[in-house]
Amino acid sequence: MGFGPRALGLGKGRSPGFTLLELVVTATVLLILASAVIPLAKNSLRREKELELRRDLREMRMAIDAYKAAVDQQKIKPPPQENNGYPETLEALVEGQTLTGSPSRKMRFLRRIPMDPFTGKAEWGLRSVNDDPDSTSWGGGNVYDVYSLAPGKGANGVPYKDW
């Protein structure tokens, strides 16, 4: 048995290869599949950034709470009285505070200020104890809460600044 066109079932006078119709059908199928995959990839990337944002906000809020608890338990040198036991800046959480019984040692609450996954910057909105809960301007003095400066809404319909 040979390997010519008849042995391959191509018939007489027909050369091996694809017809224009076969190529068009294949390209159409690939376009349909690609149009279904691209939105899924975009949504998964957005979900990933949203998870990172939630994690970063939780980490900073827990550090603020740990700072306040350390002040209340008199483990660290307290900030000025008007701060109500909260740090003056986010940088104070990274730099750490001197321990009460050991002036040569410091207690740190964050390794670094995380970057907002949507803005790509380590800049966050801050609220002090005296600010309204939905305030978008920081009154200064202390850091009671943090929020994202990213525009837009999450997959849950809530603006990122309200997380």
Distances (CA, A) of 12 to 3, 7, 8, 19, 45: 14, 11, 11, 16, 53
Report the predicted TM-score, pTM, of the whole model to 2 decimal places.
0.73
Long-range (24+ apart) CB contacts under 8 A made by 104-107 are: 107/70, 107/75, 107/76
Stretch 3-24: mean pLDDT: 68
Determine the pLDDT at residue 22.
Answer: 87
Closest CA to 135 of 126, 123, 124: 126
> CA 119, 53, 162: angle at the middle one, nearest 5?
85
Determine the pLDDT at residue 122.
Answer: 93
Determine the pLDDT at residue 144.
Answer: 93
Look at 124 and 9; give whichever has higher pLDDT: 124
Domain ranges of the chain: 20-162
pLDDT digits (tens, 9 = 90+) for 36-84: 778 777 788 899 999 999 999 999 999 999 999 999 999 998 888 888 8
pLDDT digits (tens, 9 = 90+) for 102-159: 888 999 999 999 999 999 999 999 999 888 888 888 888 899 999 999 999 998 999 9
Rounded to whole angstroms, the Cα distance separating 5 from 8 reads 5
Count Cβ atoms below 10 Å from residue 151 Cβ, excluding itself: 10
Look at 50 and 4; give whichever has higher pLDDT: 50
Rounded to whole angstroms, the Cα distance separating 133 from 73 reads 26
pLDDT at residue 15 tops 70: no
Determine the pLDDT at residue 35.
Answer: 82
Asked if residues 93 and 109 have their Cβ atoms less than 8 Å apart, the reply is yes
Look at 103 and 2; give whichever has higher pLDDT: 103
Residue 5: band (very low, low, confident or very high) from pLDDT cuts 50, 70, 90? low
